[in-house]
Structure 1
């Protein structure tokens, strides 16, 4: 990047110095020179008429317009100017004093082309003391209006906030807003340049042109202000607060027309003071759905974009860029100074690299505006300034508080930070002071106050050296506290509150993650890590955080020593590992081993709740494997367990498992009874919405009941229940339960509700992909292929075959029969008749070996249909298949399949001239139905009956 010199920017040079009028910036060989506002005004006046004598009277009129001052003030600031220039040292001469006449600038001056003319010294500059207001201030208009009202009403207001949040900028804007009210009588005093508290009254008095004749300028200053109406802005008070507070109190008490607007990182704490806490700029939520168009609604991102473009950056703000900008602003906590420093880097580094550098904390040294006070030229300088104002006790407590990630409670802080060297009362007082000094942010959530360090502050504090033993003790206390917190909140995760009330849970979970990272680090405490991971497993499952659940369960199990095997910790860790692998990678021997081991430990310990949970997961494991009889065995064991315990939840779960299994082995009446019993007890059972069993089994029960009702000949009830299953699962906001409930889509496909099925399928696949539910992604794509086939796209069969192959690899056989049936149907439609029959025969054998009787009549019907399409129709075999299909359907109460087979069989007989036989076959089957006469199968049957007369 090409550097532009001050001279090239339109400067006025003399000796090694350059003055840039547009920025009120004086540099020496390119390095900014620190100079007070009055001294700088004197230099400007002298430079406007080099080699000319300017009288003291003219200089005072120029530097102190509309304010009467004594010559002592001019001499004071002239001395400061000469000292800054080094006037008289090593032969350098810039300003000459002419006794009785005034002052003259005598050094040679050169002016760059385009440098603006300085106003003549004989002209007055109104409001010269009040810094210029920013051309555009982002996100602070409401603050300015509110502050102006408070200042008029109460006379003294302190703007309190963290370093870099924009307190000075807002104070200046308020002063400009009130210029007319105070008839331009506004004095801006930057106390940040002072180090000695005793000089605070002197600085204010001298800027008002008062001659200071004693060590304490307060009495004369108060006397001068007593009859005057003026707005005093006391900027950057935090390091002089003990001196500024009594000064401000004296002025407010004695000078009734004086109003004071102070800025500080802590309040003055004097009578009548109103505190206005200036928060950081609002940032977009951590939500990928926030679009580029919405960034303009948030002041933080708006400021970033404006400052980046003003610094010469060029970028198109598309969706990807918007996400990066939002992430940068969140990392910087909406602090205006930090955002501006980062935005300046975009021109040279680009958006992505700027974000990466933030993660590496290189942003601490980024340079800001040259005209800014030294404490605000880099982020590190701002943090060091704030840190330097703390007592040693406050620094120690702040360093220990940095162990927390995000918000934390006072109880958590007292429990974790307290140690042998710090008692609870000291920690409590230090936290109180850190909040007062804006080093800790406090905010109520409900009835509980939450605290947190800004991310930049936390990173700075963590970068400070710390005793390794102290750090390990602190991290261990932090991890132990959050293990207890997980145990205390264990029953709350399945039904979290909405809105802001959820925030404490997620903040706590972030601390759990940080604690786990430390525990399993090289120098961490793995024993504590095992306990913490075991306590976190149910929460990870409840939140569908399966990848995390798998990671920490695996690490903890690898760490588990023999002495601790067989206990509660291993039981939960094995469950977490088995369930997370089941949903993310599919069935495997490893999954079965983990679930079985967890079940064995639960049985040894007599933990009925966990036994039931593991039986439910093994039940799902066998369902996905297509081993429906083994799944039924798990359901029957669960039922036996429930019968020995007076527990509604265990009974409800057992009924759900029994109903699902009986449905799949062909016992529809038994399935319906069990499923309806489970759903009837839903309201009174704690199982309603429970996800500690891996997912909400009632969602699957409702989907299974929908399928059962359809098979029994109740299409309207089936459709309503299928949609209810999907909508209820969506309301739970639990991804695993949702993708399982969406198996109700098979009922919608059977009912030819293709548009509704397509809508939910798209959502299903997107969710499964987002959550890395690998088998369910293939299920979703398979159902999409089936949907395409039902709409006449027989070429989609190849996609369906590919999905089925991937599901075989994952040992996910739950949809094997269904998808094989659709593939065989497509083979028949495209003339691949022999392949179709072979696939049907293989599928029938699979059903006979593992269960899945509800599909048998449909497979036999499809085989008969294909046999009739052969080049030499095999009529007897086809009729045998139709007869077997009808017998199976009637024996199992499968009216839906019976209607399909009867319709096709009747059409076949009608084509052979056996009209009466056809009518006799179809009519009684059709007349069994009492609803859903608009359904495609019923309409086809009705049309055929009409044609048969």
Structure 2
């Protein structure tokens, strides 16, 4: 019978089975297996693509090419195939069902015959013993090609890498890649099985069938190899490195056709040796927005998924699950052995629990394949093997290095690891050796080489007990070093514009966190911890790590003794605590108390610059809590003090906060002067406001200037300015600054009627606020989203969303945008017929504006009230007209042409409805004529349409 299934000429083996497809023969331990024709066809198709999902549609079309068959028949024959194979019995796994996707052949497959990947046994070299290569090797194709080329060119290459990284797997794959070039003459020597270095030469000679009749088999071995073309793969050389190095050098010199591929955790260091460092598998970065497709493009995650499926797990990777897989692979540093061991746990524990177990503690004792060498059955065994190869001095240095988290510099090593009993020269020598033995990994970051212990290695080393006094001494030096580092580099943080510039700083901040944990832990040193927290606070603010700034500032304040209270350390800590609380939890009393305490200390112990730094946050606090009058007073005080200083950052800050305060009071001309002064290109300073205000003040100034421009009648300039503010904030990659820019930019696009741009910015705001725990900005973003819903016709959902957001913002409290959101809510209420409630809300807002001082919104509130009055069943046109006239007068006094145009449009429409067409035109035309840009914006289009009304 002819079938559409793939027909292979070679035999295929899996478990105890052997399949010869072209003979349609399946045997088990040599005995034929009875199997139906369709079931056999299915097996051929599935086994032709091991570890790959074959869809049901594909199976049906290939096994039943000319017949319409229902899925029930497919399930029946798959069940028959599973039964014949004993799938699921005694732990055997061959075929896995992936619901909704298809079937996958998950057993390890090896091919035999003329076209196989296994090494052909040459007639003149009967000793060929190259192990079967993996059915599918993940992420190493480039390594195999590069190694093959280098081996052909230089004859002697050593693959160097950490334990479990996959050196043996790659070496075997290279052997298969070159097997034809050597006519099958490939000898694989597993030196990991030898405990005595003296047996290396003897073992190799015996594998070649040579008679060994003396203690030194080297001459016989060399004589045999002298005229042979052979590829020798010397696997796992590190524990017998001296003997192997001498032997390999002798063979390369004496046997010109012999090529040697060695694997070792350290180089052999002999002449003519080429080093090929095998890195771990690439894994996804820890970044937001990763999707399943993006995650599965990395070889580490591909390996994890394949091995999990092969072990019987059912994985249908969603975006959420992909993030878990990425996290696991990062935790395991892309080490192939560690990934395979973890993947085997998914079938029994599930993906979530496997990730949780790794987060709690790297499980070094998880079992791997039964056929693996003893040193690779568990991570513990692999690391025991590596640790056993170290000298006592190297072990001491390694144990001290475990204090570091992530990457660290050589300068840090010399400061932290060196002690009275371990001088710098000794430490340098030990570091060189640990790097050479692949125990310590290296990576160039910026202009310097960074070092690190893989997480698996660090977990292993931390389990080795050392003297408590020694451990404490190392921890003290570690914390003290990173305190000095913060004090020296903290000023640089806000000016690091690119990822390349930030990478070394982000690597070091992990050590700051670890040092803080120790300092404030059970046996820590709180004195060092306080200083470290003071140095870390501005860096946490500059990085938008607000919850961490809050946590460590608060811990340090509680640890202050009586002598330290009221000092500069407390001043800095209280300021950092107040700012971080303000931006993460809104304007609660704790934030105000911290900021006021810090300002009081600045008045007693600080200088003028300290006071400016604190007046900025105090101004922001009162703006956010809705006390705009008090905020303006703080802004004016800040401006007065900054004027006495020659500090460009302080001066820019003073202009920015005074500008926003004047803007919200409705003094638009004066506000614009201050905002433009804040953006003026003065002398460049290394500092920015992020180190004490928590965000970049110039970005805020530009975002507020965008609103100011719209209100003054320049809509095109306003939108360009708003976009520029967002772009500059995004370029900083500072989350709080970006959130602030987005908030104010959104209002500009909502005012101009560009709902599509507003929606895009709203989505960005919500995503960033959720990721960085900025609750007030999240609520504002949801409020804006509800306003868009109202504009798009879903008023009921919009009203519900706005009510919820406003309720939570009031509770925070965060009142900076309450009036603006109330205007949106009033419009939504009117749209669902609750006009009376809408009017009551506007009246309440009018009262609050008069009390709080944000008079900017008065004209728009009055205009909105007039619009609502006209919607009542018994509308009061006279009251509505009075509201509109008052709105016109107020907008003109503010210089708010945008508010004036809206009020004029509504008044002209009212007058037109009562037959006063000429008067309406006379009112609207001069207001409309003031605008020389923005013809496509919503309000100008409405005015133009009204002016076109026939007389």
Residues 426-465 of structure 1 mapped to structure 2, 5 A cutoff: 426-465=426-465
Match of 2:944 in 1: 942
Deviation at 1:792, TM superposition (A): 4.5
- After superposition, residues 240-319 of structure 1 pair within 5 angstroms as 240-319=240-319
After superposition, what is the alpha-carbon deviation per residue over 1:583-617, rounded to whole angstroms, capped at 9, x for unaligned?
Answer: 11110221111112222333434444442222111
C-alpha distance in structure 1 between counterparts of 2:824 and 2:129, whole Å = 83
Is the 1:689–1:732 contact (alpha carbons within 8 Å) kept by the matching residues of 2? no
Aligned to 1:905: 907
Alignment of 1:461-480 (within 5 A): 461-480=461-480
Shift of 1:216: 2.4
Which range is displaced more, 927-936 or 565-574?
927-936
**Equivalent residue of 2:563, what SS?**
helix
Cα deviation, residue 277, structure 1: 1.4
- The answer on whether the counterparts of 1:631 and 1:661 sit within 8 Å (CA) in structure 2 is yes
| CA deviation map 1:480-524 (0-9, x unaligned) | 111111112212211325344433222111111111111111111
The answer to whether the Cα contact below 8 Å between 1:518 and 1:524 also exists between their aligned partners in 2 is yes
Q: Which runs of 5+ in 1 are unaligned?
A: 1-7, 12-19, 23-115, 117-122
> Which residue number corresponds to residue 108 of structure 1?
none
Change (3 A) 1:872 1:152: closer
Structure 1 residue 196 corresponds to structure 2 residue 187? no
Q: What's the Cα RMSD here? A: 2.7
* Contact 1:288 1:323 (C-alpha < 8 Å) held by counterparts: no
- Closer/same/farther in 2, CA of residues 294 and 646 from structure 1, 3 Å limit: closer
- Indicate the residue corresponding to 2:235 in structure 1: 235
Alignment check: 8 A CA contact 1:649 1:686 kept: no
In structure 2, relative to structure 1, the CA distance for the partners of 1:911 and 1:683 (3 Å cut) is farther
Query: CA–CA distance in 1 between the matches of 2:124 and 2:220?
Result: 27
Out of 395-404 and 646-655, give the one that drifted further.
Answer: 646-655
Whole-Å Cα distance in 2 between the matches of residues 577 and 246 of structure 1? 63
Structure 2 contact 406–452 (Cα < 8 Å) conserved = yes
CA distance in 1, matches of 2:538, 2:916: 64
Contact 2:245 2:269 in 1 (8 A): yes
In structure 1, the partner of 2:846 is 844
In the TM superposition, what whole-angstrom CA distance separates every residue of 1:456-494 from its partner, at most 9, and x where no partner exists? 111111011111111111111111111111112212211
Q: How far does residue 373 in structure 1 lie from its aligned partner after superposition?
A: 2.1
**Deviations along 1:49-72, whole A, 9 cap, x unmatched?**
xxxxxxxxxxxxxxxxxxxxxxxx
Residues 891-918 of structure 1: CA distance to partner in whole angstroms, max 9, x if unpaired? 2222222222233333333444444443
Aligned residues of 2:171 and 2:263 also touching (Cα < 8 A)? yes
CA 1:717/1:260 → structure 2, altered by over 3 Å: closer, same or farther? Answer: closer
Which deviations, in whole Å up to 9, do the C-alpha atoms of 1:415-470 show, x marking residues without a partner?
Answer: 10111111111110001001111111112223211111111111111011111111
Are the counterparts in 1 of residues 281 and 299 from structure 2 also a CA contact under 8 Å? yes
Change (3 A) 1:662 1:213: same
CA 1:181–1:593 in 2, change beyond 3 Å: closer, same or farther?
Answer: same
Distance 1:293 1:937, change over 3 A: closer
Query: What is aligned with 1:67?
Result: none
Structure 1 residues 602 and 248 mapped into 2: Cα distance closer, same or farther (>3 Å)?
A: same
Is 1:403 the counterpart of 2:398 in the alignment? no
Aligned to 2:748: 747
How far does the alpha carbon of each residue in 1:226-272 deviate from its partner, in whole angstroms, 9 at most, with x for none? 33333322222211122222222222223333322222111111111
Corresponding residue of 1:800: 802
> CA 1:324/1:765 → structure 2, altered by over 3 Å: closer, same or farther?
closer
Deviation string 1:107-151 (CA, Å, 9 cap, x unpaired) is xxxxxxxxx9xxxxxx99945433233332222222222222222
Contact 1:387 1:395 in 2 (8 A): yes
Q: Aligned residue for 1:707? A: 707
Aligned with 1:368: secondary structure?
coil
Q: Is the 8 A contact 1:648 1:686 kept in 2?
A: no
Name the counterpart of 2:787. 786
Offset of residue 687 of structure 1: 6.6
- 2: CA distance, partners of 1:167 / 1:21: 32
Q: CA deviation at 1:209?
A: 2.9
> Match for residue 811 of structure 2?
809
Which of 868, 878, 882 is residue 880 of structure 1 equivalent to? 882
Following superposition, the deviation at residue 558 of structure 1 comes to: 0.8
2:617 corresponding residue in structure 1:
617
SS at match of 2:443: strand
Distance 1:589 1:357 in 2: 40
What secondary structure is seen at the aligned counterpart in 1 of 2:364?
Answer: helix
Q: Deviations over 1:864-917 (max 9, x none)?
A: 444445454444433333332222222222222222223333333344444444
Distance 2:512 2:924 in 1: 64
CA distance in 1, matches of 2:829, 2:166: 71
Q: Quickly say closer, same or farther: Cα 1:418–1:605, change in 2 above 3 A.
A: same
Aligned counterpart, 1:890: 892
The secondary structure found in structure 1 opposite 2:171 is helix
The count of corresponding residues between Structure 1 and Structure 2 is: 835
State the Cα distance separating 1:699 from its structure 2 match. 2.2
Match in the other structure for 2:561: 561
Over 3 Å counting, the alpha-carbon distance change for 1:816 and 1:301 in structure 2 is closer
Report how far residue 714 of structure 1 moved. Answer: 2.0
C-alpha distance in structure 1 between counterparts of 2:252 and 2:124, whole Å: 30
Aligned counterpart, 1:507: 507
Larger radius of gyration: 1
Aligned partners of 2:235 and 2:264 also within 8 Å:
yes
**Could you tell me how far apart the structure 1 residues matched to 2:129 and 2:794 are?**
79
Which residue pairs with 1:72 in the alignment?
A: none
| Residues 90-129 of structure 1 aligned to structure 2 (within 5 Å) | 126-129=126-129
Change (3 A) 1:319 1:250: same
Does residue 540 of structure 2 align to residue 525 of structure 1?
no
Write the distance in 2 (CA, Å) between the matches of 1:914 and 1:226. Answer: 113
Q: Does 1:378 pair with 2:415?
A: no
CA-CA distance at 1:685 after TM superposition: 5.9
Alpha-carbon distance in 2 for matches of 1:864, 1:184: 93
> SS at 2:694's partner residue?
coil
Given the superposition, is the C-alpha separation of residues 391 and 922 from structure 1 closer, same or farther in structure 2, using an over 3 Å criterion? same
Distance 1:144 1:940, change over 3 A: closer
Q: Secondary structure at the match of 1:563?
A: coil
Please give the per-residue CA displacement for 1:796-851, whole angstroms capped at 9, x wherever unaligned: 33432332222111121212222333334445555545444433333222222221
> How far 1:793 sits from its partner (Å)?
4.2
Contact 1:550/1:581, CA 8 A, preserved across alignment = yes
Q: Secondary structure at the match of 1:363?
A: coil
8 Å CA contact retained: 1:394, 1:434: yes
* Cα-to-partner distance string for 1:5-59 (whole Å, 9 max, x where unaligned): xxx9699xxxxxxxx999xxxxxxxxxxxxxxxxxxxxxxxxxxxxxxxxxxxxx
Matches within 5 A, 1:398-797: 398-681=398-681, 684=684, 690=690, 692-742=692-742, 743-795=744-796, 796-797=798-799
The C-alpha deviation readout for 1:127-185, integer Å capped at 9, x for no partner, is: 54332333322222222222222223222222211112222222222223333333333
Once the two structures are superposed, what CA deviation does each residue of 1:366-388 show, in whole Å capped at 9, x if it has no partner?
33233322222222111111101
Contact 2:128 2:184 in 1 (8 A): no
CA distance in structure 2 between the aligned counterparts of 1:835 and 1:186, rounded to whole angstroms = 88
Q: Which residue of 1 aligns with 2:825?
A: 823
Residues 133 and 887 of structure 1: is their aligned pair in 2 closer, same or farther, counting only changes over 3 Å? closer
Scaled by the length of structure 2, the TM-score of the pair is: 0.83
Mean CA deviation greater in 434-443 or 133-142: 133-142
* 2: CA distance, partners of 1:826 / 1:173: 67
Matched, 1:929 2:931: yes
Structure 2 counterpart SS, 1:723: helix
CA 1:821–1:683: 2 relative to 1, 3 Å: farther
